[in-house]
Structure 1
Amino acid sequence: MPNASAKRAELHRMVMPGHMCPWGLKSLDLLKREGYAVADYKLTSRAEIDAFKAKHDVETTPQTFIGGERIGGYDDLRRFLGKTVRDKGAVTYTPVIALFAMAALMAGAASWAMHRSVLTVHAAEWLIAIAMCLLALQKLKDVDGFATMFLNYDLLAQRWVPYAHVYPFAEALAGVLMFAGALMWVSIPVALFIGTIGAVSVFKAVYIDRRELKCACVGGDSNVPLGFVSLTENLMMVGMAVWMLLKPAGVGVGH
């Protein structure tokens, strides 16, 4: 950590008419929040940028200097200040946590609007239906990317490749219909079918074959590890379909 008595820094960052470097802004903000007096040098032309890079033998901007020492770019600055730097390749459950938290909030809000209570059967049903829709949306952002990752472990997709492209649309269809409580004769078999195949595929890949794969559940660019999350997604669909079949008349979705 830097000495508290020497809280001065120089920052050289790109501020051109057509582009203001976001990492430069983040570096400036971080330095100020850490109590540094910042000499903010703006590189406003390509010639200035190229000359700065050549002078300091660097390939990127921004660059921070503290006490006459070059610290480096934004990630280097965070390390210098003792802050964590996210490993972009590391596995993480953050996208799934955020997705299910939002689904729960939306389900609770819808239940409150209808029943003035968040603890209802509707809320539980909507939580699953909304989560299915949000999970499908993540996949639909890049269907081909999802399909490529999905083919690593899904048993049906490995035998019939187009299924990998069909899956996100089927999940979205089932989720929307279950949220609306409409056309259950469509949504129930779709959810049962894709959920059962998915659960068997994940269980085999992770718990029998012991493979370490990334989960395609939140899209093709996911760093979520395959396992509990994807298995839960599929069992959730199966459970919702079974509930729709067996629930008492007049309870929950559609009533």
Structure 2
Amino acid sequence: MTSPAEPRRAIVYRMVMDKHVCPYGLKAKDLLRREGYAVEDHWLRTREETDAFKAEHGVKTTPQTFIGGKRVGGYDDLRRHFGRAVPDPKSTTYKPVAALFAMTALMALAVSYAVYGTPFTIRAGEWFIGFSMAVLALLKLQNIESFATMFLNYDLLAKRWVGYSYVYPFAEGLAGVLMISGALTWLSVPIALFIGSIGAVSVFKAVYVDRSELKCACVGGSSNVPLGFVSLTENLMMMAMAVWMLIAALGVVDRPFG
């Protein structure tokens, strides 16, 4: 009988091949050890060995974990066994947008500190929006076809001219880079105003008028970000930045940096 001081034991069967080591097997081992289990690690070294194991136990995937002689299941099953949350790949979340804005805000503060000796400047706010636009464009350009498909669900101009769904990421990226540099205001301002205005109207109509439940293409076409207030905020930020730069360029207000 196991003494109280002796660690609990678990058996894990996982694929460890010359050209493939199953990442979920590594996760299962790590989770078990963090839960205080001693792990008996069994490697499935070939496809034939893996298929034979699956057939023997009537399972479709590996890794498989056994505790106390009973099969717990795969990695998700193991998380459930320990009362841990299992993310739903189809559920919507604002986490990608929150992470992006947090990182671009830190980048803007860091650059402001490097240039002016303090993170809290007017220029830091401008850089934050410029960095955000550039990174959002980058995410869209990773798979422009996927972005365009999702974008066509709600953007009013793209529905009339499909080509706009392919132009949009480049326009957003160009405006963002120009705003970061402070160059060619005559070009960055109209671009940001144009795409921001159309985007804001499109999102407002889809969300608040049509009451559609759609996913936002703001961080790329494979994201699960819901179309809503955060999506509207992205466009309003672009518009606000464009208006601010236009007012500053016209000399209506001073543009202090430090």
TM-score (norm 2): 0.94
Following the alignment from structure 1 to structure 2, what is the Cα–Cα distance between the partners of residues 97 and 52?
A: 42
Measured on the aligned residues, the alpha-carbon RMSD in Å equals 1.5
Q: Which residue of 2 aligns with 1:202?
A: 203
Q: Which residue of 1 aligns with 2:25?
A: 24
Alignment of 1:204-243 (within 5 A): 204-243=205-244
2:100 equivalent to 1:95 = no
Following the alignment from structure 1 to structure 2, what is the Cα–Cα distance between the partners of residues 224 and 58?
A: 33
Q: Which residue of 2 aligns with 1:161?
A: 162
Alignment of 1:97-246 (within 5 A): 97-246=98-247
Name the amino acid aligned to 1:237. Answer: M
Q: Which residue of 2 aligns with 1:59?
A: 60
Deviation at 1:82, TM superposition (A): 0.8
Deviation at 1:213, TM superposition (A): 0.5
Following the alignment from structure 1 to structure 2, what is the Cα–Cα distance between the partners of residues 58 and 215?
A: 36
Following the alignment from structure 2 to structure 1, what is the Cα–Cα distance between the partners of residues 254 and 75?
A: 57
Deviation at 1:250, TM superposition (A): 5.7
Contact 1:125 1:252 in 2 (8 A): no
Name the amino acid aligned to 1:63. Answer: Q
Deviation at 1:6, TM superposition (A): 7.5
TM-score (norm 1): 0.95
- Pick which of 176-185 and 243-252 moved more: 243-252
Contact 2:7 2:38 in 1 (8 A): no
Runs of 4+ with >2 A deviation: 247-250
1:161-217 alpha-carbon deviations (Å, 9 max, x no partner): 100000000000000000000001110000000000110011011011111110011
Contact 1:9 1:37 in 2 (8 A): yes
Deviation at 1:29, TM superposition (A): 0.7
Following the alignment from structure 1 to structure 2, what is the Cα–Cα distance between the partners of residues 144 and 230?
A: 20
Following the alignment from structure 2 to structure 1, what is the Cα–Cα distance between the partners of residues 203 and 137?
A: 17
Following the alignment from structure 1 to structure 2, what is the Cα–Cα distance between the partners of residues 169 and 75?
A: 39
Name the amino acid aligned to 2:179. Answer: M
Does the residue aligned with 1:19 lie in a helix, a strand or coil? coil
Q: Which residue of 2 aligns with 1:251?
A: 255
Deviation at 1:47, TM superposition (A): 2.0
Change (3 A) 1:54 1:241: same
Contact 2:64 2:73 in 1 (8 A): yes
Name the amino acid aligned to 1:15. Answer: V
Identity %: 65
Following the alignment from structure 1 to structure 2, what is the Cα–Cα distance between the partners of residues 185 and 71?
A: 63
Does the residue aligned with 2:16 lie in a helix, a strand or coil? strand
Following the alignment from structure 1 to structure 2, what is the Cα–Cα distance between the partners of residues 37 and 237?
A: 54
